[in-house]
Amino acid sequence: MSSAMRKTTKSPAVWRLTAATVALGSCLALAGPAGSAGAAPADPVPTVFFGDSYTSNFGIAPVNNTDSERGWCFQATDNYPAVAARSLADKGITLDVQADVSCGGALVHHFWEKQELPFGAGELPPQQDALKQDTQLTVGSLGGNTLGFSRILKQCSDELRKPSLLPGDPVDGDEPAAKCGEFFESGDGKQWLDGQFERVGAELEELLDRIGYFAPDAKRVLVGYPRLVPEDTTKCSTTAPGQTQLPFADIPQDALPVLDQIQKRLNDAMKKVAADAEGGADFVDLYASTGANTACDGADRGIGGLLEDSQLELLGTKIPWYAHPNGKGRDIQAKQVADKAEEILNR
């Protein structure tokens, strides 16, 4: 079977079998004296970062690749992969970043299929094409777009249903935004959501299997999403310092706990996929560690409000954060990822 053909094969069973075989061989090959454990790698660690807008850190300027179609990925020059790599270098752990292919709008299946860019700007190759046989570390976040989180937000907001850069349509545009909490907890809305979660779980499983196939020696790290809505949703009734819009704009107060439950369910699904992965995978639980830095935490917020101006401009107009990590949130992501990478590489 040619390399090109193998790059497009989609059978999860094949990937699981291959990944398990490789993992067993790797474990036997790596078995050595007990004294070798716990030493930081002496050589640079070949690393690939993958993911969506939460890895590319949409909203933070400046961005990479402004002279090519990849500029539409809105990948920040100082996204969390770049910040984490610098942090690790300060601790004597050097990452040889073979690629950072994170791109805003990426769905899980864009790991093995081409991604169409907005406004007919072109297409990008599958993210898995960045993997090499000698890749030793892979890190990234995917799942939120496959779940349809922007569609969920639009279901709950008349403001977000207006034309914008935020992709997708509401799940059911005939249902009023004011009743979105009820919509997702029963009937067609709940059925749609359950189906989306099934798809996310299956596709993330395939993603990890594919990494195991194309980069058999790589440690696999799946990074969860930071918490957007606080436990105390009354905090979302107050604007952040210097802002005129509420953190979640016109989304109904009673829908905020529902949005939080959906996000927690996504986090739990990602954690389970990592825990169940053949050959082992690690998970960075950002949801669990960012409860004091949600979009509603005022000066401590690590998430830019839905309609709060980000650092980006398009045609002279500021682009909203659309509930993405701001600089503080990016730094939290970077620290958690760097800590996990250090733990893994020192095993």
What is the predicted pLDDT for the residue at 315? 86
- DSSP conformational letter for 63: B
Q: Which secondary structure element, helix H or strand E, spans residue 48, and what is its range? A: strand 45-51
Catalytic choice (57, 143, 324, 326): 324
Dihedral angle computed from the Cα positions of residues 244, 246, 248 and 253, in that order, rounded to the nearest 10 degrees: -160
Higher pLDDT, 229 or 347: 229
Going by pLDDT thresholds of 50, 70 and 90, the confidence category of residue 314 is: confident
Going by pLDDT thresholds of 50, 70 and 90, the confidence category of residue 30 is: very low
What is the predicted pLDDT for the residue at 202? 98
Going by pLDDT thresholds of 50, 70 and 90, the confidence category of residue 38 is: low
Higher pLDDT, 39 or 252: 252
The question of whether 289 is a catalytic residue gets the answer no
Catalytic choice (53, 141, 157, 310): 53
For the stretch 67-102, pLDDT in tens is: 999 999 999 999 999 999 999 999 999 999 999 999
**The pair of three-digit structure tokens given for residue 140, joined into one six-digit string:** 């990234």
Q: Strands, E, within 179-308: which ranges?
A: 219-223, 282-284
In the chain, what percentage of residues exceed pLDDT 70? 88
Going by pLDDT thresholds of 50, 70 and 90, the confidence category of residue 41 is: confident
Going by pLDDT thresholds of 50, 70 and 90, the confidence category of residue 165 is: confident
Going by pLDDT thresholds of 50, 70 and 90, the confidence category of residue 10 is: very low
Going by pLDDT thresholds of 50, 70 and 90, the confidence category of residue 34 is: very low
Catalytic choice (56, 102, 141, 145): 145
The question of whether 293 is a catalytic residue gets the answer no
What is the predicted pLDDT for the residue at 42? 82
For the stretch 93-122, pLDDT in tens is: 999 999 999 999 999 999 999 999 998 899
Spatial neighbors of 139 by CB under 8 A, at least 6 apart, are 47, 48, 49, 50, 81, 84, 221, 223, 337, 341
What is the predicted pLDDT for the residue at 39? 65
Q: Report the alpha-carbon distance of residue 316 to residue 295 in Å, rounded.
A: 25
Q: Report the alpha-carbon distance of residue 193 to residue 65 in Å, rounded.
A: 35
What is the predicted pLDDT for the residue at 16? 39
**Residue 159 confidence (pLDDT) above 60:** yes
**Residue 176 confidence (pLDDT) above 80:** yes
Catalytic choice (59, 104, 105, 144): 105
Cβ atoms < 10 Å from Cβ of 185:
13
What is the predicted pLDDT for the residue at 54? 98
Where b means 16+ CB within 10 Å and e means fewer, 150-167 reads bbbbbbbbebbbeeebbe
The question of whether 65 is a catalytic residue gets the answer no
The question of whether 53 is a catalytic residue gets the answer yes
**Residue 180 confidence (pLDDT) above 90:** yes
For the stretch 203-243, pLDDT in tens is: 999 999 999 999 999 999 999 999 999 999 999 999 999 99
